[in-house]
Structure 1
């Protein structure tokens, strides 16, 4: 029985590998954007246990034995640079097998264009996301500082004509490229930041607090020199 179970697990791993053999990112710009956006979404939905956020995770929409002739012409899987799924458990996964997730389609996919992405590959991604029901699809090209977006309407992904300041209907975030790079803003207006930015701001806050405490102590000392008890004020 154990051997049989192991064999089944091995078969499953061969049919649905957890890696496509490609690097997570081709360069530092792509990596920084991916980690910043994934981190931003993770913070945005930190209180919700029914929102799953992932980066570079393989999504398998259907079991291979159930694919139709038309579906076999599409890629069997995709690994969006950023993926957000509403309505599934927040937990670790080796891949996203849709049939194990209540058949819930990832609603939002974001791709960061890298030098290895050719026109044919990007067209295949679009066809995949369009066919399998992604609600919102965004593509950002760092080299051109160009953001494109598509919203599902009438069963198809329709291009959004104006992306500057666009607000995602599902996620509530907005996008801008006006500063010569992609910026994503939470519904509160706060910009998604890198980990380095967060740490830098934390350090500044600590310095401000320490400076304020030092100023307070100096003021207390001056009051004592004037024979005034600062605690009596």
Structure 2
């Protein structure tokens, strides 16, 4: 857990790199966390007390060097300002814990790539020491190679990560669940990560919401057309019987 030492000479975010500058070898490293962030921006559109970072350096005081960040593929922090209050209008280039009221991310996501990135050992130890409550390792492509499951969710208990076994995984401290589902994003149909509510219902992506609205509008139009056709058929039947439908 983060323990602030006021005697430390802490650098500012302007003095720190925004990430580790290492290239990714798979589109999923950016597509998956950005998709989660995109959906979350609609779920929590009225809230300004959260931040979801993607491939951004998280600087903390629990490591061996203040200037060496841990860089999750995605992470969520709660109870912080969307914009840094002392730097009005300026977006974050990195997440510096000592500039964020010492609030560490509550959730971290790692997407395993072709090049192993120590997600199951070194990074797990760093996140545990930092105090990240939930840690998700998403490994849809290389799980057999790594002898792990494609989706592994962990919760920090007494400083040690314990594997959770239900899916979607509900995070009461966050007020969201997370799990896998088949869908379409960025014109790609495949398995994606999605947020879920407390009733295990998946939150729709903005794309799906648009498609749903279009489908509902089409169905309403079709129902109106069918009702009009039935009315016309009834009028024709009445006229064939010598009855003026306008007198009824």
In the superposition, the TM-score normalised over structure 1's length comes to 0.72
| Alignment match, 1:191 | 202
The reply on whether 1:126 has 2:105 as its aligned counterpart is: no
Richer in helix (by share): 1
Residue 173 of structure 2: which of 167, 170, 173 is its match? Answer: 170
The reply on whether 1:158 has 2:161 as its aligned counterpart is: yes
Deviation at 1:134, TM superposition (A): 0.8
The reply on whether 1:87 has 2:79 as its aligned counterpart is: yes
| CA separation of 1:82 and 1:174: change in aligned 2, threshold 3 A | same
CA shift digits 1:37-95 (9 cap, x unpaired): 22233333223221222222222124xxxxxxx73269821222221111011234222
Deviation at 1:205, TM superposition (A): 2.5
Residue 201 of structure 1: which of 182, 198, 212 is its match? Answer: 212
Question: RMSD over aligned Cα, in angstroms?
Answer: 3.3
SS in 1 for 2:151: strand
Deviation at 1:161, TM superposition (A): 4.5
| CA separation of 1:142 and 1:189: change in aligned 2, threshold 3 A | same
Richer in strand (by share): 2
Paired with 2:215 and 2:225, the residues of 1 have a C-alpha distance of 15
- Give the structure with higher Rg (CA): 2
Q: Which runs of 5+ in 1 are unaligned?
A: 1-10, 63-69
SS in 2 for 1:202: helix
SS in 1 for 2:110: strand
In the superposition, the TM-score normalised over structure 2's length comes to 0.68
Residue 212 of structure 1: which of 212, 223, 244 is its match? Answer: 223
| Alignment match, 2:134 | 136
Kept in 1: contact 2:32–2:193 (CA 8 A): no
Deviation at 1:196, TM superposition (A): 4.0
State the aligned residue count: 210
Deviation at 1:158, TM superposition (A): 2.1
Q: Which runs of 5+ in 2 are unaligned?
A: 1-10, 84-90, 144-148, 183-189, 239-243
